[in-house]
Structure 1
């Protein structure tokens, strides 16, 4: 199943690179003060750093660009039917393959907060939450530092 997911992510990346990206309609560059963010919004994955893709078994339901005194951040809200720890395990395996390490910040039955770190790469904060009132639905809030 994971092999099929990996193949689908690779096919999406290859197809996105073909032709005009505005015709595909799956990716947009986020512009910040004349500087283009390296992160690209897609329906089924988040591109971090230098075009490295993080496939997510779920659906991106919202995106926010956050600017504050600590810098600029891309924040994605992703909903998935996977278990809380199943979702975290999938993201962790993908990031380990890209050279990231994991630092757990908070752990409970309904919330799991993790920092993913890699020298020379953007810091990622993942906040996994069990959605109240929605049986079987988990939410991942993924925050990626893009500037500052």
Structure 2
């Protein structure tokens, strides 16, 4: 695996992924729509595979799933970078658009598809999950 790198819009926060994502997906929950005015494309990585340089700010909110979500963003430019759930503290959500090579990770599913607007452009070849999917299974023993 080649390390993946990324950064926020202004470059004050940089990060590196040192493991393959466990999965990637497009999220259509209402919170993600508020963040991006669209669905967000996210990779799930083990917490110990994400290294971050620079300061991030946080915003916490109870999600539709019932879990507390913490979203992390650059306090300078506002770029949404990472998130994590109280239900899966061992994983971090990484916004794929912030990778230096966003084409290096492809989503496999649309989640919270029931919340998507009528005009949403969803790739029909991706799995469709109406709400919160089951957590990814780890390849570690």
**Structure in which a larger fraction of residues adopt strand:** 1
Q: Give the TM-score normalised by the residue count of structure 1.
A: 0.36
Query: Using CA pairs below 8 Å that are at least 6 residues apart, which structure has the higher relative contact order?
Result: 2
**Structure in which a larger fraction of residues adopt helix:** 1
Which of the two has higher C-alpha Rg? 1
